[in-house]
Amino acid sequence: MKPAAPSGRTPGSGTALFLVAFGLCFVAIGLYALAETRSPAPGGWDTYFTFATHLFVLVGGLLAVGGARQLWSARRLGPPKASLPEGALAPDATFSFRFAQPFRWRTEVVSVGVFLVFRERVTRERAGETDSIDEDRVIQEYAHPGRVYAPGDVLTVEHTFRIPAEEREVWNKAGRHETAAVETRWVVKVRLDLAYPADIVWRESPVTVHGTAGSADVAREASPTGLKKPDGTRH
């Protein structure tokens, strides 16, 4: 097993601090303007100015609260660790995946999902710009109930996955564009549903599989329906 640091979206402390500071600036400027404003005459411009200033303070307060909430979410999670097999896997191979998520602060986890995902990444040129579009297909999944974790506790999950023997057909409709280049890859994704404040955190770890980390032919037929995406929706 090879230890690795999963990537994924975690609320950022830098962005949160910026939102808090920016919001507090809004509030301070608005309160100062209100303090300098004399009693407005009904229907005059001062009335509209006072209304706008109150709105300014409200927006600043919302930004500060949102930043504080994001900062809380960022700080309650420690750095995750994942263990994956060394080297490239062959189709029809099985492998073990182990994931550990430490907690710095008391955190309630609502649920945990672990997914083996086949990802199609389409890179194309549109109007002189290059963009990439990912489409994830869940091949295998596990679900766990949540619980409350105290500071220093570690959430651990361990599962065995199997890489299908059959070749995966590409569904991503964006690949139909004439300039599209399609790459396929395998990843294991972990979804943490957190409470108070509510948030969803994704972690993902790439899995190397022979014959998938490259371009692929794009199917021209309409995408099949019925398979779930990692967010619970369906194609």
Q: Calculate the alpha carbon distances from 171 to 8, 188, 215, 220 in Å.
A: 23, 19, 13, 8
**pLDDT beyond 60 at 104:** yes
Tokens (6 digits) for 17: 């601090």
Looking at residue 109, its pLDDT comes to 96
Looking at residue 35, its pLDDT comes to 72
pLDDT one-digit tens code per residue, 122-151:
887 777 778 888 889 999 999 999 999 999
Looking at residue 212, its pLDDT comes to 65
The neighbouring-strand residues paired with 4 are 82
Give the chain's end-to-end CA distance (angstroms, integer): 33
Rounded Cα distance, 231 and 77, in Å = 21
Residues 205, 157: contact at Cβ < 8 Å?
A: no
Looking at residue 116, its pLDDT comes to 97
Looking at residue 147, its pLDDT comes to 96
pLDDT one-digit tens code per residue, 47-66:
666 777 777 778 877 777 77
Task: Please indicate whether residue 234 or residue 202 has the higher confidence score (pLDDT).
Answer: 202
Looking at residue 14, its pLDDT comes to 66
pLDDT one-digit tens code per residue, 162-212:
999 887 776 656 555 566 788 889 999 999 999 977 788 999 999 999 876
**pLDDT beyond 90 at 101:** yes
Name the CA dihedral angle for 45, 50, 52, 57, rounded to a multiple of 10 degrees. Answer: 160
Residues 229, 136: contact at Cβ < 8 Å?
A: yes
Looking at residue 226, its pLDDT comes to 32
Closest CA to 196 of 74, 107, 113, 111: 107
Q: Which residues contact 35 (CB under 8 A, 6 or more apart)?
A: none
Residues 140, 116: contact at Cβ < 8 Å?
A: yes
Query: Residue 154 phi/psi, 5° resolution?
Result: -130, 125
Q: Calculate the alpha carbon distances from 21 to 28, 31, 40, 144 in Å.
A: 10, 15, 30, 38
**pLDDT beyond 80 at 217:** no
Strands (E), the chain: 2-4, 81-84, 94-102, 107-126, 129-145, 148-149, 154-162, 181-195, 199-207, 214-215
pLDDT one-digit tens code per residue, 67-96:
776 666 667 899 999 999 888 999 999 999
Q: Which of 26-30, 34-38, 215-219 reaches the highest mean pLDDT?
A: 26-30
Task: Please indicate whether residue 148 or residue 37 has the higher confidence score (pLDDT).
Answer: 148
Tokens (6 digits) for 193: 């549903």
Q: Are strands 107-126 and 81-84 parallel, antiparallel or unpaired?
A: unpaired
Rounded Cα distance, 55 and 27, in Å = 10
Q: Is the peptide bond before 6 cis (omega within 30 degrees of 0)?
A: no
Rounded Cα distance, 69 and 64, in Å = 9
Looking at residue 233, its pLDDT comes to 46
